[in-house]
């Protein structure tokens, strides 16, 4: 049953309640390897389901455009103060609705339409909002894009420096959605400083690793830090912008009134809970275990002949090029889902195939680490992945169903917050 239980929902809308129950059960029985997903705590779930959703509070604590903020103000202050303490930043804004609007606010704060900006290309591992052409950020700004080296699969800092010197972007984004290696914040900072650009570290994927001390921090290197709260940080769907004191005012003005109206106070409360949870020894252990699990899973996949972009991982994420296995990312991901292993198909750098049918799969260990799986289970997961990929290639659906049954058998021993 979903935890917390949803009896009122079941009464008033049984159809919807059934879908929610089934989704909780599905999450329980799957090895969830999508690297941007997680299981939030029951406390975080409870916070998102509170009466705070009833309240309008445009503005910031102490400077609101609506009355009745006696309790909303301390809730938002709690979230802001906890963010500042956890990450060691001068300033935090917890109001962005999600990662993409948070990034849009950064453009609004520091650029005019048509200005030059720089980020990592989407097919190389960047995010849509770092200037990719189908995104508003690629349409309304002149975006130049860097990538990774073909021989190493790692960000090409020489290319970043040369591009920055030639194009003089106002903003440089570092970070992305499919980067299996440590981001060199000091090197980016040196380049940004040389050309007078604002450096933005988009740590959406790795915020939990940074908070838990399992990845270097961008603080002191990037003037502005953007993050979602729902990936490795293990909070509600939302985002935060953090900055040094100099850039604080511009960030706040861009979020409100520049881009958004009323903040989602139930989400703000859940972010506060998340940040408290993240400032514990338990969370630091979780962050380090994510990396240990990813490393063990990567090694086990390499042993089975899988070709990993950059050869391995430093963080929570693994990008596999399936070309040598003779199967596309999409049919592999679909077969793996049937086998109880959930991940996503993904382009790999220099992918000769189309984005909707690319060569790779992307996987990561945050959610399974939250479930309590450890390095000793990683060879088994690699074996299942390998069997499923071969079964997919042979069109053997029964083999996939047999793997799914084995997966379920393992997972019954690993509780999941949100389902009991
Ligand atoms: C996930 C992600 C985002 C966008 O977050 P949404 O909440 O999906 O809008 C932005 N940047 C990076 C690097 C991300 O990984």
Is residue 122 a known part of a binding site? yes
Name the catalytic one among 56, 77, 182, 396. Answer: 56
Cβ atoms 266, 47 nearer than 8 A: yes
Contacts of 216 (CB under 8 A, 6+ apart): 182, 183, 185, 210
Name the catalytic one among 237, 304, 338, 408. Answer: 237
Q: How far apart are CA 124 and CA 148, in angstroms?
A: 6
Question: Which residues make beta-bridge pairs with 224?
Answer: 200, 243
Distance 307 CA to ligand 1 centre (A): 26
- Confidence at residue 350, expressed as pLDDT on a 0 to 100 scale: 97
- Confidence at residue 313, expressed as pLDDT on a 0 to 100 scale: 98
Query: What distances in angstroms separate CA 121 from CA 116, 134, 311, 348, one per listed residue?
Result: 15, 12, 20, 11
Determine whether the shortest distance from the Cβ of 127 to ligand 1 is under 6 A. Answer: yes
Could you give all domains of the chain from N- to C-terminal order, each with its CATH number? 47-278 (3.40.640.10), 291-411 (3.90.1150.10)
Cβ atoms 108, 254 nearer than 8 A: yes
Distance 204 CA to ligand 1 centre (A): 6
Cβ atoms 265, 75 nearer than 8 A: yes
Number of residues that make up the chain: 420
* CA 315-319-322 angle, 5° bins: 155
* Secondary structure (DSSP) of 91-110: EEE---SSHHHHHHHHHHHH
The helix (run of H) or strand (run of E) holding residue 272 is helix 265-278
Question: Which of 41, 2, 32, 24 lies closest to 235, judged by CA?
Answer: 41
Question: Which of 180, 189, 123 lies closest to 157, judged by CA?
Answer: 189
Residue whose Cα lies nearest atom 4 of ligand 1: it is: 99
Q: Which atom of ligand 1 is nearest to the CA of 126?
A: 13
Q: Which atom of ligand 1 is nearest to the CA of 239?
A: 7
Is residue 126 a known part of a binding site? yes
Residue pLDDT tens, the chain, 420 long:
999 999 999 999 999 999 999 999 999 999 999 999 999 999 999 999 999 999 999 999 999 999 999 999 999 999 999 999 999 999 999 999 999 999 999 999 999 999 999 999 999 999 999 999 999 999 999 999 999 999 999 999 999 999 999 999 999 999 999 999 999 999 999 999 999 999 999 999 999 999 999 999 999 999 999 999 999 999 999 999 999 999 999 999 999 999 999 999 999 999 999 999 999 999 999 999 999 999 999 999 999 999 999 999 999 999 999 999 999 999 999 999 999 999 999 999 999 999 899 999 999 999 999 999 999 999 999 999 999 999 998 999 999 999 999 999 999 999 999 999
| Residue recorded with tokens 């849009």 | 104
Query: What distances in angstroms separate CA 267 from CA 173, 249, 270, 347, one per listed residue?
Result: 26, 22, 5, 32
Question: Which residues make beta-bridge pairs with 225?
Answer: 201, 242
Distance 322 CA to ligand 1 centre (A): 25
Q: What is the pLDDT of residues 82-121, one digit of tens each?
A: 999 999 999 999 999 999 999 999 999 999 999 999 999 9
Determine whether the shortest distance from the Cβ of 267 to ligand 1 is under 6 A. Answer: no
Specify burial of residue 165 (Cβ count, 10 A radius: 0-12, 13-18, 19+). Answer: exposed
Q: Which atom of ligand 1 is nearest to the CA of 100?
A: 9
Mean pLDDT, the chain, integer:
98
Give the β-pairing of 59-60 and 239-243.
unpaired
Distance 136 CA to ligand 1 centre (A): 14
Residue 317 tokens read as 């994420």
Is residue 247 a known part of a binding site? no
Determine whether the shortest distance from the Cβ of 98 to ligand 1 is under 6 A. Answer: yes
* CA 277-278-281 angle, 5° bins: 90
Q: How far apart are CA 280 and CA 41, in angstroms?
A: 14
Catalytic annotation present for 228:
yes
Catalytic annotation present for 237:
yes
Determine whether the shortest distance from the Cβ of 99 to ligand 1 is under 6 A. Answer: yes
Q: For the whole prediction, is pTM greater than 0.95?
A: yes
- Confidence at residue 311, expressed as pLDDT on a 0 to 100 scale: 98
Backbone angles phi, psi at 401, to 5 degrees: -65, -35
Between helix 281-303 and helix 378-394 the angle, nearest 10°, is 40
Between helix 265-278 and helix 281-303 the angle, nearest 10°, is 80
* Secondary structure (DSSP) of 33-89: --TT-----HHHHHHHTSGGGG----EETTEESSS--TTHHHHHHHHHHHHHHHHT-
Catalytic annotation present for 56:
yes
Query: Which of 35, 101, 102, 129 is the best mutation target for the ligand 1 pocket, counting ligand atoms within 8 Å of the beta carbon and taking the most?
Result: 129
Residue whose Cα lies nearest atom 15 of ligand 1: it is: 177
Residue whose Cα lies nearest atom 6 of ligand 1: it is: 99
Cβ atoms 270, 235 nearer than 8 A: yes
Query: Which of 102, 228, 236, 238 is the best mutation target for the ligand 1 pocket, counting ligand atoms within 8 Å of the beta carbon and taking the most?
Result: 228
Contacts of 25 (CB under 8 A, 6+ apart): 419
Name the catalytic one among 82, 170, 181, 231. Answer: 231
Residue 223 tokens read as 């003037």
Between helix 329-338 and helix 397-411 the angle, nearest 10°, is 60
Between helix 329-338 and helix 378-394 the angle, nearest 10°, is 110
Catalytic annotation present for 90:
no
* Secondary structure (DSSP) of 330-378: HHHHHHHHHTTEE-EEE--TT-SS-TTS-SEEEEESHHHHHHT--GGGH
Q: How far apart are CA 234 and CA 214, in angstroms?
A: 15
């Amino acid at each position: 049953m979903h935890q917390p239980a949803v009896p009122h929902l079941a009464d008033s809308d049984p159809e919807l309640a059934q879908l929610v129950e089934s989704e909780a059960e599905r999450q329980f029985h799957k090895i969830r390897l999508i690297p941007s997903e997680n299981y939030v705590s029951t406390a975080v779930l409870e916070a998102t389901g509170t009466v705070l959703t009833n309240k309008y509070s445009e503005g910031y604590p102490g400077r609101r455009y609506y009355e009745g903020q006696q309790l909303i103000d301390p809730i938002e202050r709690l979230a802001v103060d906890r963010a500042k303490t956890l990450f060691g930043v001068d300033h935090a804004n917890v109001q962005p609705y999600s990662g993409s609007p948070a990034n849009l606010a950064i453009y609004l704060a520091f650029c005019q339409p048509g200005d030059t900006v720089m980020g990592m290309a989407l097919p190389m591992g960047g995010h849509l909002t770092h200037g990719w052409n189908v995104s508003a950020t690629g349409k309304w700004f002149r975006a130049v894009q860097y990538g990774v080296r073909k021989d190493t699969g790692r960000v090409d800092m020489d290319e970043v420096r040369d591009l920055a010197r030639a194009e003089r972007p106002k903003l440089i984004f570092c970070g992305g959605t499919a980067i299996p290696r440590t981001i060199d914040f000091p090197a980016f900072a040196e380049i940004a400083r040389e050309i007078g650009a604002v450096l933005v570290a988009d740590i959406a994927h790795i915020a939990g690793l940074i908070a838990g001390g399992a990845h270097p921090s961008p603080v002191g290197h990037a003037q502005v830090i953007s993050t979602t709260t729902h990936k490795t940080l293990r909070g509600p769907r939302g985002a935060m912008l953090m900055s040094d004191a100099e850039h604080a005012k511009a960030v706040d003005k861009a979020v409100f009134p520049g881009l958004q109206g009323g903040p989602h106070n139930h989400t703000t409360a859940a972010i506060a809970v998340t940040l408290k949870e993240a400032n514990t020894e338990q969370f630091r252990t979780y962050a380090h275990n994510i990396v240990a699990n990813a490393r063990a899973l990567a090694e086990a996949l390499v042993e089975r002949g899988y070709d990993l972009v950059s050869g391995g991982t430093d963080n929570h994420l693994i990008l596999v090029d399936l070309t040598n296995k003779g199967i596309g990312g999409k049919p592999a991901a679909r077969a793996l889902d049937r086998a109880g292993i959930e991940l996503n198909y993904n382009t790999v750098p220099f992918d000769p195939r189309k984005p909707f049918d690319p060569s790779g799969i992307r996987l990561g260990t945050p959610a399974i680490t939250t479930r309590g799986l450890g390095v000793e289970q990683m060879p088994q997961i690699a074996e299942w992945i390998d069997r499923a990929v071969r079964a997919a290639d042979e069109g053997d659906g029964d083999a996939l169903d047999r793997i799914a049954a084995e997966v379920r058998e393992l997972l019954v021993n690993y509780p999941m917050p949100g389902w009991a």
